[in-house]
Structure 1
Amino acid sequence: MRDAVIVDAVRTPVGRGKPTGALAGLHPTDLSAHVLTALAERVGLDPVLVDDVIWGCVSQVGAQAGSIGRYSVLAAGWPESVPAVTVDRQCGSSQQAVHQAAAGVVAGQYDIAVAGGVEMMSVVPIGSARAAAGLGEPFGPAVKKRYGVEGFNQGLGAEMIAEEFGLTREQLDQHALDSHARAAAAVDEGRFSGQIAPVTTPNGVVDTDEGIRRGGTLESMAKLKPAFKPDGVIHAGNASQISDGAAALLVTTSEIAARHGWTPIARFHTGTVVGTDPVTMLKGPIAATEKALKRSGLSIDDIGAFEINEAFASVTLAWLAATGADYRRLNPNGGAIALGHPLGGSGARLMTTLLHHMRDQGVRYGLQSMCEGGGMANATILELL
């Protein structure tokens, strides 16, 4: 029986998604090509052997249009015979890309696949695809009638989740401070050095995640104004950062890996996806985790590390409350509040960080999940080899 293993994973540093950001000005296909090239070089992969590249991207418009996965392959100088497909499952796009790569490998459609994703939010701002050519919202009268709303807002959804789980602003702010502190410690201890492929820009080499802030306090956080409700608890300091970044993973079978002399990091153990209420929208990781654990036969205590995307602090703290997971195992190297959230690249970034943490710390099982626009979530369980 065929299995799916991840041989290696690499990511760019995450830059701030603004015109002054460290990676701003680079083309998304070139940033994607950078991690594709770095991945191939790390493992000695001849790109001609790649059966498919599955690439996540959310805002598929402008510089990220036209199936960016394909142009990323060409930008990397890989053979024209290597195909690619671009996936949109909102923020979970590149996590979904890994799921599709693993499924294709297990099914025998692929022997070797590369999965990953990119988002350059400094180049293609969030909401660009929706606003393109003034073509309107991605939902019509039937959806509005079903839910009794004129639109969907993730920030308001995050506020609803905070209210439902009784989360205070102080709790959310402390969680955000913890994210920055954990990420800063990871940088200081060199925990990211093995997973980051430094990027050369016109302004120099970028080798460190740009969004990490040190020295924050509850007092300084309290000065930030709520972003979505005048009396709300969600603000810029306890929400994920707008970012630039890309990541890539090599997926194959254990037999093929051995044939090439590769030592895989982990086995793709379990993958699930769920749909949830699109109004609150962001509770999907709770249901996805439950489904993944049930399917795998594992318990929450069997998992040694969790990467749950910090879209908003209320998302991860609600997930923690619902699952009973150990807070110390949640995003041990910081999350998207500190490191940033380059939409279509985030799923692959989280998985890259999780894989390297599992290998470095000897963690047998790791679980990843992230909320996704429209009310969805993927969950993945990896097993260290």
Structure 2
Amino acid sequence: MPEAVIVEAVRTPIGKRNGSLADVHATSLSAIVLNELVRRTGIDPGDVDDVQWGCVSQVGDQSSNVGRFAVLAAGWPETVPAVTINRACGSSQQALDHAAFAVMSGQQELVVAGGVETMSRVPLGVARQTGEPYGPGPKQRYPDADFNQITGAQLIAERWGLSRAALDEYSTRSHALTAAAIDKGVFETQIVPVDVADGSFAIDEGLRRGTSVESLAKLKSVSGEDGWIHAGNSSQISDGAAALLVTTPEKAKALGLTPIVRYHSGAVSGADPKLVLTGPIPATEKILGRSGLSVDDIGAFEVNEAFASVVLAWLAETGADLDRVNPLGGAISVGHPLGASGAILMTRLINNMRDNGIRYGLQTMCEGGGTANATLVELLDA
């Protein structure tokens, strides 16, 4: 079976809600990272077999197969196809899985994976305003469930005995790590600046320097009067896009490209849809079992910070070393542009692995409905 490798990964800076990227259309934002892949690799876009593009809220600006219109917005040949994928928050991580599977099957040689979400322009939950998203069957099966992620985050905190102070301590850590990474210029090589009205936007803007447990304690709960979930220990609503180029080692050599990581394994799982967000726990167990590796073999983890309780429950169940988990911060400190987040996390992960000589990296994300993706990559020449 052919191997799949990632030879390049780029992303936009993450814009906060109604911030620097609010006036940029989803296809335009996508085109920026698509063309940055071309600029960095020198490939002929006409040689791309397919574009797998993640997007969650596929209405309004993001409707009509946003991946296809991103390709056209980029000026790529009309012959280049694209498909838009929705696995909730894991959409662009699933796009990467699909790209790798296509290459490993031998059916395609050069595939772009990525995603976009412009939550300033297409608000979270807008799709639910025009119909009933779940239908009667799931509600009859789970009569006491509202399938709401905030409710799920609170239930997880209660089940795993996580106090508000513990959630806020983790969230404070996220901001501190992101601040340190930005100050060291860690993200500069992976980010493509975006020209906006005020100039060139090049730094993730969700960071709130000086965040502390004391400052977070002042925020009002969004999970009930006595709840522990609030805006400060939850992911931020954001805008962004990211793209990765997937191919075989042989094709990379022919194109004069140096692979960064090998796609080692991929897994998906389903879990309790009432808790919604626990899927990364069985997904991680599944991928480690499939790969033959242990949690101690993994040098870096990217566990999407949808809510602090998600990461802390995952840590409790897996026994992973906290120092290896989200070492550059995460969605609590920089944001979670839904359909782009999987590709953004992988871009962050593989650059961190290359910068620090880390052999194995694992990425996992909780997703609406109780599903989750886990992806394991191996640094080449580690």
Same fold (TM over 0.5): yes
Please give the per-residue CA displacement for 1:77-132, whole angstroms capped at 9, x wherever unaligned: 0000000000000000000000000000011121100000000000100011221x
Tell me, yes or no, if structure 1 residue 54 matches structure 2 residue 56: no
In 2, Cα distance between equivalents of 1:151 and 1:277: 12
Q: Equivalents in 1 of 2:101, 2:127: separation in Å?
A: 29
Partner of 2:279: 284
1:348 maps to a residue whose letter is A
- Determine if the alignment matches structure 1 residue 151 to structure 2 residue 151: no
**Per-residue displacement from partner, 1:275-332 (whole Å, max 9, x unpaired)?**
1111101000000000000000000000000000000000000001100000000000
Q: Which whole-Å CA distance do the structure 2 matches of 1:180 and 1:342 have between them?
A: 17
Shift of 1:142: 1.5
| Alpha-carbon distance in structure 2 between the residues aligned to 1:265 and 1:271 | 17
User: Whole-Å Cα distance in 2 between the matches of residues 197 and 216 of structure 1?
Assistant: 27
| CA distance in structure 1 between the partners assigned to 2:2 and 2:345 by the alignment | 25
Separation (CA, whole Å) in 2 of partners of 1:379 and 1:166? 25
Q: 1:111: which partner in 2?
A: 109
* RMSD between superposed Cα atoms in Å: 0.7
- Rounded Cα–Cα distance in structure 2 between residues aligned with 1:219 and 1:213: 14
Match of 1:80 among 54, 73, 78: 78
Please tell me the residue identity of whatever aligns with 1:59.
S
**C-alpha distance after superposition, 1:9-46 (max 9, x if no partner):** 0000000122xx01111100000000000011111111
> In the TM superposition, what is the alpha-carbon distance from 1:150 to its structure 2 partner?
6.1
Q: 1:122 aligns with which of 120, 123, 142?
A: 120
User: 1:168-207, aligned counterparts within 5 Å?
Assistant: 168-207=163-202
Shift of 1:149: 3.2
Which residue number corresponds to residue 4 of structure 1?
4
TM-score, structure 2 as length reference: 0.99
Check if 1:138 corresponds to 2:128. Answer: no
Deviations 1:215-259 (A, max 9, x none): 122111111011111101110000000000000000000111011
TM-score normalised by length of structure 1 = 0.98
Residues 118-174 of structure 1 show CA distances to partners (whole Å, capped at 9, x for unaligned) of 00000100011221xx32x21111111101136311001000000011001111001
Task: Give the 3-state SS of the residue equivalent to 2:204 in structure 1.
Answer: coil
Q: Report the 3-state secondary structure (helix = DSSP H, G, I; strand = E; otherwise coil) of the residue aligned with 2:151.
A: helix
Question: SS where residue 98 of structure 1 aligns?
Answer: helix
Q: Aligned equivalents of 2:145 and 2:170: distance in 1? A: 32
Write the mapping of 1:278-317 to structure 2, written as runs, cut at 5 A.
Answer: 278-317=273-312
Residue number in structure 1 paired with 2:344: 349
**Aligned partners of 2:233 and 2:246: how far apart in 1?**
34
SS at match of 1:85: strand
Question: For residues 99 and 339 of structure 1, what CA distance do their matches in structure 2 show?
Answer: 24
CA distance in 1, matches of 2:373, 2:147: 20
Q: Distance in 1 between matches of 2:246 and 2:375?
A: 14
1:373 alignment partner in structure 2: 368
Matches within 5 A, 1:18-57: 18=18, 21-57=19-55
SS of 1:310's equivalent? coil
What aligned pairs does 1:201-280 form with structure 2 within 5 A after superposition? 201-280=196-275
How far, CA to CA, are the matches of 1:48 and 1:140 in structure 2?
A: 42
Q: 1:318 aligns with which of 313, 320, 323?
A: 313
**C-alpha separation between the residues in 2 aligned to 1:142 and 1:60?**
23
1:329 aligns with 2:338: no
CA distance in 1, matches of 2:144, 2:108: 43
Match of 1:68 in 2: 66
- Rounded to whole Å, the distance in 2 between the matches of 1:3 and 1:150 is 42
Unaligned ranges ≥5, structure 2: none
Query: Is residue 13–residue 191 contact of structure 2 (8 Å, CA) maintained in 1?
Result: yes
- Does structure 1 residue 101 correspond to structure 2 residue 61? no
- The alignment of Structure 1 onto Structure 2 pairs a total of residues equal to 380
* Distance (whole Å) between structure 2 residues aligned to residue 39 and residue 129 of structure 1: 31
Cα separation, 2, equivalents of 1:83 and 1:140: 32
Q: Distance in 1 between matches of 2:272 and 2:133?
A: 17
Runs of 4+ in 1 over 6 A off after TM superposition: none
Could you say what secondary structure the match of 1:321 adopts?
Answer: helix
Instruction: Specify the code of the residue in structure 2 equivalent to 1:15.
Output: G
